[in-house]
Amino acid sequence: MADSVRTALSQAITDPRPPKPRFFDIKDRIRYLYWRGEMSERLKKTLPDTQVRVEFLRTVWYEATRAGLDPQLVLGLIQVESAFRKYALSAAGARGYMQVMPFWTRVIGDGESKKLFFMQTNLRYGCSILRMYIDQDGGNLYLALGRYNGSRGQPEYPNAVLTAWKRWKYNE
């Protein structure tokens, strides 16, 4: 990995800003609130606690938009990767909602891999890493998803995420 990429990712991960949406236009705030309400209804069975669900959606929206990603894409990826389980642990050792591999904490973070079970940390790493892969693949989301999952060249994973993304689409 190039030093410039490592530095950019490291800066994105260590940014201390809390996941609190800020809006300069009331219409954008209203759109966000409608989106959050709709997604909250869809997640009710999976995440029954209202406070947890709202905090989760606020953080997904914040981290996704911060990384220039569609929040619904991130929801689709989380559905495929962990089925919305905060403490998901894969056979390969990937952790949390977005199934981030622990080596990333050594490469771009503070080396504290147990923090990957913290919601904001996991979503920040996952969104930042996915954004990097999309950029590396010239905007090709299909290839970037394969790279994210370590299954590049195999259609099952990208197709699963793209299908889940369609299910999470929000029509204003």
Strand partners, 122: none
Is-contact 83 147, C-beta < 8 A? no
Is-contact 14 112, C-beta < 8 A? no
Per-residue tokens: 34:
């409608």
- Calpha distance 169→172 (Å, rounded): 10
- Calpha distance 118→96 (Å, rounded): 8
For the chain, percent of residues with pLDDT exceeding 70? 90
For the chain, percent of residues with pLDDT exceeding 90? 78
Report whether pLDDT(171) > 90. Answer: no
Average pLDDT, integer, range 70-90: 97
Q: Which domain holds residue 38?
A: 3-168
Report whether pLDDT(6) > 70. Answer: no
CATH number at residue 57: 1.10.530
Question: Total structural domains in the chain?
Answer: 1
Prediction pTM value: 0.90
Between 110 and 19, whose confidence is greater? 110
